Structures are given as structure tokens and as C-alpha cells.
Structure 1
């Protein structure tokens, strides 16, 4: 059974300090934004009938959806959907989400549609073929069209078959807790989907390798006719050396986060570890020719580790270890201003996490009121985007690109974060590794001029006090972007919850000692 309330409060006091108990007496340890809106308790108070210990994928699905019918191929159906009854699910051992009913691991050949062939897909949609065909040019948007045709349709059918197996929905009022050490408690090869629910706690589990066997080539992603200037790049095709096939851009995009939070309220993800396992994306090099080679053109098989999107609110990511991955935490997945995309939502705390050899999005924020504090970032610098040279063989396998991504209309409050980023292979480490200005122009929305906000204090880079705010402002000038506004003029975390951040000099040791699965 779940520990009694007094023991939980004692645990919260010992782990986070007495201030936390004052801040969130009903949250059973959840702090930051997850302590707001009545707190996040998960399945606390579940009766014996709804307290489970699971060791297999089938048991996990049945605990989450008691009426689920699991088919022979591993897909499943549930008339009622994820159960909202208070429940506590203890995970014991390793659970592989990519399995059929018999427990056999499912791989590429099991999901592949008979009409799909990866090599044929590459040949059909590679820039030298697809972009070069005038019929595939979108004149209105001044870029190539998205792939169409039998091979893309077969890829999508293959992807749908995999998704029907590996995406596991989590219901409201649920705690999923690892029962054991980081090495023994693992959920691999799939995704927990926390979608359209509330009050979810996930703790003490290692999540590994949410591998997408059927990533999509998107020729429109990051496509540019002008940046950087590339010989032969132009909208009109002339010959093999001149035309849109010579323009930079296009990306492989994959589907699965290890945990996806979408339109959810009160979610606490704490003391978990996340990584790509043995199939890290750097092992899948570009399948195209110049200029579509290098890190930007790796065949990406992993999406985020934990992404929080849509109308999600009151979310805390705390004491997690994010390791050996590229696009780590995306908070807000669209620049289009709408309620559905997170406008007016995305209240999130990112605290006491350890980012080790994580490339970018640590986190990347659009719209939200996001508090980023007491995190420790470690990695080896690499090239970002179009600035990467053609030959990236000497670059680190999991290169560090930037820390906090300042996206459209973000409202970020960052304090006492510590970066240790090593220089290697000619990459200069300067203040730019701490952030990236993804935001654009101010905009008038509902008659109000909306802006992007950022504030940081107590930031340390390689042992020296630095200011992300000053560096981001200076960069904005060179980019022709509007100045960032001071987040403190519109909100501060202390107006929403009580917290006591560590001083910067204590962050590294504290996070390295406590963050990750197996350290409760």
C-alpha cells in the first residue's frame, strides 16, 4: 500500500526542506507549479483493490485500463479508456512496451507495411529528387511540398501500427512508481501518454529508447532559400547544381517522447532517468548528399524525452536525469497563438534536474510561465544547425548546443542554474551555449501587444557568474529581434508557490547526488 500521509510529509520535509511542506501541504512532496491548483497527489489514498505491482506490459495496461483487450499483435482497445479511479502502480523490473500479447519484442519487420521500403523511401524523397521536381514546389510558401505518394502512405501505415502498440495512455489520479533501483526498474521502447487527464505522479523509473522505426522526412522543416547562403540554392530548378535541391533544410522527425504530457493538469514527474539506450541518434548518419549531411540530417529515431504541450498546466519536472539525447524538453510545440497550442497555459517548473550530454531544449519554451531553477547542465559543445560544417566526424556524439530555448511569447524565470560545457574540436564556448533566441517579433493579440519575457539570476558558466539575459539581449540586437522584456514585470514564482532555491555553488553537488531514478 501507499505510505501513510504522515510518512509522506516526513519524506517531503527530508527531501525538500520544511519550506516545501508549507508551500504544498496537500501535494505529498510535489512542489513548484505542481503544488498549485490544489496540489498533485496522484493515486494517494487508493484502496487495496487499486494498488498494483506490475512486472509486464500486459499487467501495466490492465492496471491503467481494467477493461482493455490486448490483441495478439500487441495493439489494444478499451471502451472506457484510462481509468480515473485513484490508483497506485508499482513498476518492478523491466517492462518493454513494444511487445505482442505473447511477450515477444516487436521490431521494424513486425510493424512494417508490406509496401514500405526504407531505401526506396529515401530515393523517392531525397532533396536531389523531390526538391528538384518543379511539381513538388509550393509557390505560395516558397518551399518544397510535403511528401506524398504510395511510399509515404505506406510509411504512415507502418507508423500507425507501431503507435497502436507502444503508446500507453495514463488516466487521472494515478501514481506510477518504480519499486527498485535505477538499473532494475525500466520502461523501454515506448511512450506513456498523459493526455487530457489530471493529477498524475510518475517517480523513480528509468525510461529508455522510445524508438520510432518509421521517422518522417519533412523537406519543409528549417528549409531556407537564404540562410545560410548556399551555392546553387534558388527556388527555380535549372540543373543538378542549381535549384531548391541545393538549399539547406529538411529534417527527419520522429514520433515518440518517453513521456508526453498533453492538455493535462497537475503532473509531477520526479526522480526519473531518461535516455536513448543503445540506439542513440548519432548512430544513424545522413542518407543524403551535400548539402544535406551532418548532424542536422541524422535519421532521427527519437523525439523528446519529456515534452509538455497543449493546454497543460501545473506541471513540475524535478530531480530527473536527462542523458545522451538531443531534443530533450519541448514546452509548447507551435508558434501559432491559440489556446490549444498553450497560449495562456503551460505553467511549468523545471527544477533540480541533471542534463548530461543533452543537446538542446533544456527546456525550449513557448508561451508558458516557466520557472527553471537549480538545474545542472553538462556537455561538450557542438555546432548548431546551419553553422555545422559538412564534416562533423570530429564532433562529440552527443553535442551540447544550447540550454534554455527562448521561444515565442515565453515568460521564463531562471535562477541559480549551473552550466559546465567543454570546448572541443574548434567549437568556442561562450555565453551563447546557455540559450537560443527562438522568439520572433512582438504581435498584437486581442488588441494587446504581446512580447517575450526572460529573466535570469545566479547563472554560472564554467565556474564564472554570467547573465543569460544580457547575452540574449545582445544577440537579439544582432538578429534584429525586439528586446526581451523582464519577466519580473508580469510574474514571479513566489507569487504562485513558496520555494527556497539553493545557492548556485551548491547546485552541482546537490543535483548529482539526488537526481535520477533510484535516489529516492
Structure 2
């Protein structure tokens, strides 16, 4: 039993709020749980039939069948974790009020990078020990400072990574519900809905330097805003993802590379399957969506990583919108906006054994950006890319790519036709519809 935050009276062996009756149990989470909600309550919503891969088989219902004692309103990381633990795999609805900062202890006190740092770890010493002029570029760091960095990272991970149980709906209340500096993980469970939340700044205090990554090395970080890892039947709807207060442009450079403290905004990996992501806003980020995280994951990802993306807004995104391996990914009616002066590499990444269908999308490119780079070939795999509009004009993305980057010739025809679609809008209307309707605070 969770300890109550405020005094109440006992009803049927549980503490309930002073103003609530016995039908609404608090269970130690802020505010009384709601009684059975009316049908139109967004917290009771389920993914509609035929609405993307998440609707396959039994569909995605999340915690829509939750009883009154498994509805919680939370306003801190500790309360969120307690609600997950209390309800287990029973259908549950978690309503998020305000900001849940995951870099806090169980009392709600803020934690800084110094609080996670193992005794003896210092960034200045790490930089001195692994400077390429000293360490070289042929092997990844090892030794005392790298061991201390890894221990520090493990301490932060234990705090900022929070796992969502099966049969759960997590939904933000109002327009300002936010998970700050957290990595929400839907791992090896079934039937989860996440709606109406802003995910901001999942930052890694202890990025690792890898001089062997690429031609000049890279800083690599952990923690995505949201990870679907080996899970099935997931619906992600009307959320906003952003670096927010800590943009990459404000980060320093060490060894000639940005000290990258952000990983992805949304990853679908390790055999995850049957995911629909609709009406989300992905903004101001570098490595945005990774669907299938390794070319070697043949055993786990073959015939998996089935994801539908529709009516999402991608604004000021550098790359991976998404990058796909193995999966049958259906991306339609999304709006991709490349803004003046931003860093931009590509939008759709075609990876090993992928079968990407990208149709009826709108792409808005600022002057100076080459439409040939909208597609990026990582491995030999076919792609369907029909009826897409670039700056208001219908554009054959494959033909433009092959003409502009002939060394990365792409083959047309993904070999399958999506059938799990409900509303398909004219791509010329997509910028207006998606810009107005996507993201947190716009749920109906």
C-alpha cells in the first residue's frame, strides 16, 4: 500500500481523500482517482480499427478498461513509478498533471550531474586522458576514467529510465503536462497508449567518446525520450518531442565534435511490433526516429518493426524521420519542415531489409536545401514513395534522389501495400491540417 500524501479517512481498508467518497481511491497519488469516466473521456480512448499497424490483431486498448481503483493522477516521478508498481499489469490509466522531472530523488529534490558522478570522475580528466593526441583514434576509451564515466552513467540511468507496464494508458491533463529529462520505456510488454504529453530534454550527463565512430569520432549518448523495446500494440498520439531548454546549438565541442547529450526522440527497436504514431510533433532534434537499431538484428527484427506514422509534424529535424531497418513502415500524411539555417542531412533513411512506404506526405524545404537529400540510402532495400509534395509541387522523391545522388541508386517498390489506414488526406492539405492539429495540447 502506498503511503498517503495527505490526511484522509479509511474506506474498505484504503486511505481516500477528505473530499472524495469511497468510490474514488487515492492510493497515495496526488488527488482522487476519477470515477468511471464517460465514453468521450480521452483517457478511455482506444486506437480505432484499421488505424495503422497498432490496430493489427487484437488492437491497442491500453488501460481503457481500468476500474476506479486503477486510475491515478500523478504530479511527480515518484508518484508515476508508484502508480505503475501498484497497478502491475491490470488495466490502468495514469493522468499526468504538470511537469514530471525525472532528475529528482524520491522526495522530489532536484538532482544534478554532480549527484550522479562517481567519486573521482571529472570531465576535465576524461578529456585529458582520451584526447586523440594522447589516446589515438584506433580504439574506444578504457581505463579508470572510462570506468568511472560508465558507473556515473549507470547511476543516472537508474533514475531517468522508467518502464511502463502492460495494459496502460498514460495521458497528460490539459495543455502543459510534461516529462522532463526522462526516458520512458515501453519494454517487452503489450498494449500501451501514450497521449498528450510533451517530452523534453532527455539528456545524458556522461556521453562517451568513441574515436572509431566515423572518420573523426563522435560523442555518443544514451536516453531517448520514448523507447518501444520488444513491445507490441502501442499507440502514441498527440505528443510533442523536443530538446527544449537544451538545444544542440548550445552544446560545446570537444575533439572537434559536438558534445552530444541527446540520443533519439522515439526509437522502436529489438523486435518491437505493431505501433501507430499519430498526430505527434517531433521538433528541434538531430537523430529523431530509429526503427530497428542494428543491421545484425536479423533474428529479432525480421518480420517485426511494423510501424505506422501518420499526421505527424517534423520541424527542424536533422535526420532519421525515420531511419528504418527490417520494418514494414507506413509513413503517410506527415508534414516535414526544414527551416532556414538548420542542420539537415535527410528525412527518410532506407536501411537493411527495410520495406518503407512513404506516400501522400508534404515536405517544406527552406531555400538552399536539395530535395535529392530527402531520401538516404544506407543499404540495398526497395522503397515506395508516391504522391509526395515538396514545396507544394508533386515530386517523385526516388527519381529526384537518383538523379541527384546516382551513387546511391534507390529501387522503387517496397513490395507491399498498406491496408491499415483510416483517414487519408490530400497531401496539399497536409501542412494546414498537421500544423494546426499535431502535438500535445491539441487532443480531442
TM-score range, shorter chain: 0.7 to 0.9
Which digits, 9 at most, give the CA deviation of each residue in 1:159-200, with x for residues without a partner?
A: 00000111000000000001111xx21110111110000100
Choose from 343, 348, 353 the match for 1:404.
348
> Is it true that 1:87 corresponds to 2:92 in the alignment?
yes
Q: C-alpha root-mean-square deviation of aligned residues, in Å?
A: 2.0
Query: 1:5–1:28: 8 Å Cα contact kept in structure 2?
Result: no
Q: 1:28 to 1:5 in 2, by over 3 A?
A: farther
Count of matched residue pairs: 409
Q: How many angstroms apart in 1 are the aligned matches of 2:230 and 2:404?
A: 33
Within-5 A mapping of 1:490-501 = 490-494=415-419, 497-501=420-424
Q: Which residue is equivalent to 1:369?
A: 328
SS of the equivalent of 1:109 reads helix
Q: Which residue is equivalent to 2:413?
A: 486
Choose from 382, 388, 392 the match for 1:459.
388
Query: 2:60–2:193: 8 Å Cα contact kept in structure 1?
Result: yes
Q: Which residue is equivalent to 1:208?
A: 200
> Is it true that 1:470 corresponds to 2:399 in the alignment?
yes
Query: 1:58–1:101: 8 Å Cα contact kept in structure 2?
Result: yes
Structure 1: which 5+ residue stretches go unaligned?
13-25, 67-81, 133-143, 223-247, 382-395, 441-451
Q: How many angstroms apart in 1 are the aligned matches of 2:161 and 2:50?
A: 26
1:28 CA displacement: 4.6
Q: How many angstroms apart in 1 are the aligned matches of 2:284 and 2:117?
A: 28
1:129 CA displacement: 2.1
1:369 CA displacement: 0.0
Within-5 A mapping of 1:41-190 = 41-66=61-86, 83-131=88-136, 144-181=138-175, 184-190=176-182
SS of the equivalent of 2:411 reads coil
Query: 2:49–2:59: 8 Å Cα contact kept in structure 1?
Result: no
SS of the equivalent of 1:457 reads coil
Q: How many angstroms apart in 2 are the aligned matches of 1:30 and 1:117?
A: 52
SS of the equivalent of 1:114 reads coil
1:29 CA displacement: 7.2
Query: 2:338–2:364: 8 Å Cα contact kept in structure 1?
Result: yes
Q: 1:2 to 1:146 in 2, by over 3 A?
A: farther
Query: 2:101–2:180: 8 Å Cα contact kept in structure 1?
Result: yes
Q: Which residue is equivalent to 1:274?
A: 241
Query: 2:197–2:440: 8 Å Cα contact kept in structure 1?
Result: yes
Q: How many angstroms apart in 2 are the aligned matches of 1:258 and 1:47?
A: 29
TM-score (norm. length: structure 1): 0.75
1:156 CA displacement: 0.2
> Is it true that 1:302 corresponds to 2:242 in the alignment?
no
Choose from 364, 370, 374 the match for 1:420.
364
Which digits, 9 at most, give the CA deviation of each residue in 1:14-52, with x for residues without a partner?
A: xxxxxxxxxxxx735782111112110100110011011
Query: 1:420–1:462: 8 Å Cα contact kept in structure 2?
Result: yes
> Is it true that 1:33 corresponds to 2:53 in the alignment?
yes
SS of the equivalent of 2:62 reads coil
TM-score (norm. length: structure 2): 0.88
1:321 CA displacement: 0.6
1:210 CA displacement: 0.5
Q: Which residue is equivalent to 2:442?
A: 519
Which digits, 9 at most, give the CA deviation of each residue in 1:253-299, with x for residues without a partner?
A: 110001011000000110000111211122113212xxxx3xxx211
> Is it true that 1:264 corresponds to 2:208 in the alignment?
no
SS of the equivalent of 1:493 reads coil
Query: Which range moves more in the overlay, 39-48 or 274-283?
Result: 274-283
Structure 2: which 5+ residue stretches go unaligned?
1-33
1:303 CA displacement: 0.4
> Is it true that 1:193 corresponds to 2:185 in the alignment?
yes
SS of the equivalent of 2:136 reads coil
Q: 1:460 to 1:202 in 2, by over 3 A?
A: same
